[in-house]
Amino acid sequence: MTTVSAEGLVREVVKSIKENDIEFDIFRSSAQVACLASVDYIMSEFIKNKVPVTKYDLIILPGLIRGSARLLEKKFGVKAVKGTTYVGDLPEMIKYLKEGVTFSPELPADSLIQISLEKDIRGRIKEIIASNNPLFAINNVKFTVSPPPMVLLFEYMKGKGNPAGIADYIVKYGYEGIILGCDVDCNPSKDLWRVMDFFKNYNLIVGLDILDYMRVGKKSIVDFDLLANINGKTLEAISGNITSKQALVIIPDDTSSPEALVASLKENIEKALELGLDKIIVDPLIRPPMLGFAQSLKAHLKSTEELHYPHLFGLPNFYELLDADSPGVVASLTSLAFELGASVLLVTESSNKVRGVAKEVSIAREMVYRAYVRKSPPINVGVDLLILKEKRAKELKPPEIKEDIKRETVTSYVPPSLDPRIYLKIFIDHNSNEVIVDAYSRKDEKLIARFSGYDILSLGRHVVQKLGLGAQHALYLGYELSKAQIALQLCKSYEQDSPLFKYRCDYPR
């Protein structure tokens, strides 16, 4: 049984189930979506439409339908259960049914087979990626016209960050390549070639941003796997110094309208093909929010519809120019990029506010992959980017107290009782992921001890024991250590005796 909005997907999924010994019939309810329908309503529709329910062995209802499927079983004498929340998971439910698993009339089927679904989703993602034939490959990395896969490229500006640390970081989170750029203080013809060899040792695709080609100089660029930001003028300038083994990220010269942008891309692609360069990635250029972002999405969609090449979606043009926490932003952008048909994502970490965004994009890609397989929104897919907020509030209410126990409410400031011997200064080190506690003598204000660690409880206990801190001083230390630990986890700055967040949760109560 399905609803109006899901009928097409249900028929598609049921058609894909290869079980010769099972026959399916699909009944479409007049309800628009499952979460607004009820079992009572479905029962009335079965009766109204004279559906021969008794000829079936099992009725499978949508997982989100309201009410218990037992009503149908009592009415018609046919076993009825709730199916999966998302129709893409129905084949997994059918597999378990054949193995004798009993499903529930009250709970969605996927809540009973979540572990197996996780394993099955990963397998299906691999199968889909393997079946999507690439237009070309670089170092065994497939570039397809449409996703999945979505190739992750990280842009590194010379001089910003330790290359070894960056390489370990992006490889850990599944990035396939790195594009080298040059700020005003670096020498492209010397500095970038030096780090190119370093990154190639990590089996990464290594690209070069040559938008500012004049600064590159006459040094050969044939050793790079990919050349980014190639417009018509740049293509003419470098035509004698590149080979057909290299991939080009083509950008438009004219961005005045979606039509002009696509026409410009077509012209630059033709120039590249005439030079025998056919490993082409198209970058229609994403504009910043409030400065043409919506128009650039329109151009991107038009480009993917007309130009059958891998398309690059540059996330930094949006999240770097928006003062908002990055996890939710990149989750939205990655979903949007997938729907637009982008099979290459470009990521950078240029500012402090987006520190750690490469990890977030990697997680967002996994969310989108799983949603694609399940034919669902990227919700309840087993991974998420909910860092500061949670999906469901836990009902952890304080216990009721006896009438003879008086509740004391503290409404006024309680001054601290200072330790006459020592005072503490607390810092965090993002590089070592440690919290540092320095102890100073109140008598002469000299440093007398330093403690550090990443197990915050053990660090606090050790400091309390070693310095013989009193109860109030120990309470203060624990409070500040907790703030320091949260700052480390969220890649935030930590300043002792200052609030960690300027934002305070507020909602109707």
**Are residues 309 and 269 in contact, defined by beta-carbon separation less than 8 angstroms?**
yes
Highest averaged pLDDT of the listed ranges 59-63, 67-71, 363-367, 385-389:
363-367
**Are residues 299 and 333 in contact, defined by beta-carbon separation less than 8 angstroms?**
no
Instruction: From residue 173, give the alpha-carbon distance in Å to each of 154, 160, 346, 365.
Output: 11, 19, 14, 11
- Other C-beta atoms closer than 10 Å to the C-beta of 77 total 9
Residue 405 pLDDT: 83
Cis-peptide, bond into residue 416, ω within 30° of zero: no
Residue 186 pLDDT: 66
Residue 184 pLDDT: 65
Pairwise CA distance, residues 327 & 359, whole Å: 9
pLDDT, tens only, 38-49: 999 999 999 999
Residue 217 pLDDT: 55
DSSP annotation of 28: B
Cβ burial of 93 (10 Å; 0-12, 13-18, 19+) is buried
pLDDT at 492 over 70: yes
pLDDT, tens only, 403-450: 788 888 899 999 999 999 999 999 999 989 999 999 999 999 999 999
**Are residues 494 and 500 in contact, defined by beta-carbon separation less than 8 angstroms?**
yes
H runs (alpha helix) in 308-455: 316-319, 326-340, 357-374
Residue 31 pLDDT: 87
Cis-peptide, bond into residue 149, ω within 30° of zero: yes
Phi/psi of residue 250, nearest 5 degrees = -90, 130
Question: Any idea which of 115-119, 458-462, 482-486 has the lowest mean pLDDT?
Answer: 115-119
The CATH architecture of the domain made up of 133-374 is Alpha-Beta Barrel (3.20)
**Are residues 288 and 317 in contact, defined by beta-carbon separation less than 8 angstroms?**
yes
pLDDT > 70 fraction of the chain, expressed in percent and rounded: 95
Tell me the pLDDT band of 22, cut-offs 50, 70 and 90: confident
Which has more confidence, 307 or 160? 307
Full-model pTM? 0.79
Tell me the pLDDT band of 149, cut-offs 50, 70 and 90: very high
pLDDT > 90 fraction of the chain, expressed in percent and rounded: 64
The full set of domain ranges for the chain reads 7-112, 133-374, 422-489
Question: Beta strands of 214-261 (E only): which ranges?
Answer: 226-230, 247-250
- Other C-beta atoms closer than 10 Å to the C-beta of 249 total 23
The residue assigned the tokens 């120039």 is 271
Average pLDDT (81-98) is: 87
pLDDT at 68 over 70: yes
Residue 277 pLDDT: 94
